[in-house]
Amino acid sequence: MTTKKQRNLCIEELASRGIYAYENNGLVIVSIDEIDQSFILHDEEVIARAQILEQL
């Protein structure tokens, strides 16, 4: 499981790249409007992206 802080940092990191993401029921959802699709990030991906911002 990821923490709320990790999910928020992950969403912030994605937003800095122009990628829309949001949290829903403890999951990070990435939305891709161009292809009208959404997908859920795995916990490992959320943690890795959160660590990018934590290191700054």
pLDDT digits (tens, 9 = 90+) for 2-45: 999 999 999 999 999 999 999 999 999 999 887 889 999 999 99
Phi-psi region of 14 (alpha: psi -120 to 50; beta: other; left: phi over 0): alpha
Return the residue matching tokens 């800095």: 16
* DSSP-based three-state secondary structure for 52: helix
Q: Report pLDDT for 10.
A: 96
Q: Report pLDDT for 37.
A: 94
